[in-house]
Amino acid sequence: MTDLSRLGVTETVRLTTQRDLTARLVVEEALGRIADADPRLNAFSRVLADEARAEASARDDQLAGGAAPGPLHGVPIAVKEEIDVAGTVTTYGGEANSTPVAADAELVRRLRAAGAVIVGKTTMPEFGAFPYTESASRGLTRNPWDHARTPGGSSGGTASAVSAGLVPVAIGGDGGGSIRIPSACCGLFGLKPQRGRVTTSPEPHLWWALGTAGPLTRTVLDSAVVYDAIRGNLDTDLYRAGGTESFTEAAQREPGRLRIGWTTKPVTLGVKPDPLHVQVLEDTVRLLTELGHDVVEVDPRYPDPTAAFVPQFFAGIRTEADQVEHFERLERRTRETYRLGSWVRPGVVRWALKETEKISAKANLVFQDVDVLLTPTIAHRPPPVGQLDGAGTVLASLRAMPAIAYAALWNVAGNPAAAVPCGTGPDGLPTSVQLVGRTDDEATLFSLAAQVEKARPWPLLAGDDA
């Protein structure tokens, strides 16, 4: 019998559209895995069991009635807490909202239109402020590879659920590394798309120029298929990406010979990469060279993104906090962050957005000489849970530095960047490298990552051998 926990997006769609499996059976199996494993992981803040069963049955009825199946037909998908799902409270990882929203976010509507089944909401730190999935109301979310370790964040519940095989794909968000960091900690493929690639509706933006949303998956092709289902904009979106190339097609073709620059230099001063991450990057350099690419060490001459990132970080937190129903229920650390950001007036945000354009131009100078930049994804090994215990805003920010040291610049610059699994280290935890692409060039990252995946297969589930 097929082990449904191992099914990815494309295989699930193949089996449900050919009627080898029903969507109802696939969803029931996912709900069973969630009920069995999630008490130990804390990946889900809410499971929509009854709603998911009804939605799955509707998918089966539509197929039986002759309707054409969508590209995500019958796929159970979980959604990060910050994204609206009709009938649920958009909690942002805390208790400050209490009223269920009436409508899906446009991203969720597109998932459903493509045939997906929404099975629940995944945990996050309040407002996604820090890259560890811990909060006063949700507790600690744990890494399936080692329950004493963090899955990263802020899309940590999303990563934990996918890595444990509870669902084949889940949606996260990335405002400073929050797709790539948990992907690196949990052995997943996670691509932050080009700024403006995926609509943020009903909000006009996610932390202004910093944030975007997208899937965390176990394979490159699965990510591409989901992105093709959700990409695109509405008139209300502040940002729009360019290009119309199919990511699914890109993930299924050879990338050709690329110029790839590599560096272990972090953007954040004072942070040093773990020696294992340096070794893994050097191993990847050798692999890419063997695959026929021109691979050279480069000095990216990173610009300092602080002046653009920090005001948008504070403004994003304050904007979301101003919209909640019960401000007094916010965590103490969140209220402290809110106070510390009081200097970020509208004029400061406008200035920061101008700085964003300057920093993006400087960061992209490296692509005059290379097609893709290769770096570590995170500087540290996945640390123990409890990183935010007793920490105020300043200490939590310092503890976040090793996680965001290679990631946050590309939120400011807007470029696509992907965490690519590289197997596991001697500690039994996943390893990862980051591929950064030119503006609007997710397609090259999908092609290159798929080539690496084929040449160096990675474990699909926590505990697997490569």
In the structure, what pLDDT confidence band is assigned to residue 3 with cuts at 50, 70 and 90? confident
Q: Could you give the CA distance from residue 368 to residue 437 in angstroms, rounded to a whole number?
A: 12
198: Cα within 13 Å, side-chain hemisphere: 30
- The helix-helix angle for 306-323 and 346-363 (nearest 10°) equals 140
Token digits for 174?
């990335």
Q: How many domains does the chain have?
A: 1
What pLDDT does 466 receive? 59
Residue numbers of the domain that contains 27:
4-455
**Residue 334 falls in which region: left (phi positive, over 0), alpha (psi -120 to 50) or beta:** alpha
Question: Is residue 461, in this structure, part of any structural domain at all?
Answer: no
Choice among 135, 155, 160, 178 that is catalytic: 178
- The H or E element that residue 423 is part of is strand 417-424
Question: Is residue 23, in this structure, part of any structural domain at all?
Answer: yes
Task: Kindly report, residue by residue over 329-341, the tens digit of the pLDDT.
Answer: 999 999 999 999 9
Question: Is residue 466, in this structure, part of any structural domain at all?
Answer: no
User: Does 1 have pLDDT greater than 60?
Assistant: no
Choice among 45, 135, 154, 183 that is catalytic: 154
CA dist 58 → 15, 85, 88, 116, 383 (Å): 17, 18, 20, 11, 42
In the structure, what pLDDT confidence band is assigned to residue 465 with cuts at 50, 70 and 90? confident
Q: Is 192 a catalytic residue?
A: no
Q: CATH number of the domain that 73 lies in?
A: 3.90.1300.10
Q: Is 154 a catalytic residue?
A: yes
Q: Which residues pair with 47 in a beta bridge?
A: 120
Task: Kindly report, residue by residue over 257-314, the tens digit of the pLDDT.
Answer: 999 999 999 999 899 999 999 999 999 999 999 999 999 999 999 999 999 999 999 9
What pLDDT does 463 receive? 84
Question: Is residue 462, in this structure, part of any structural domain at all?
Answer: no
Question: Is residue 464, in this structure, part of any structural domain at all?
Answer: no
Task: Kindly report, residue by residue over 28-57, the tens digit of the pLDDT.
Answer: 999 999 999 999 999 999 999 999 999 999
Secondary-structure breakdown of the chain: helix, strand, coil percentages, each rounded to the nearest 5: 40, 15, 45
Question: Is residue 107, in this structure, part of any structural domain at all?
Answer: yes
Question: Is residue 463, in this structure, part of any structural domain at all?
Answer: no
User: Does 348 have pLDDT greater than 90?
Assistant: yes
Q: Could you give the CA distance from residue 123 to residue 172 in angstroms, rounded to a whole number?
A: 10
Q: Is 360 a catalytic residue?
A: no
Q: Could you give the CA distance from residue 80 to residue 101 in angstroms, rounded to a whole number?
A: 15
Question: Is residue 465, in this structure, part of any structural domain at all?
Answer: no
- Sort 62 into a burial class: Cβ within 10 Å, 0-12 / 13-18 / 19+: middle
User: Does 195 have pLDDT greater than 60?
Assistant: yes
Choice among 45, 80, 192, 432 that is catalytic: 80
Token digits for 45?
């803040």
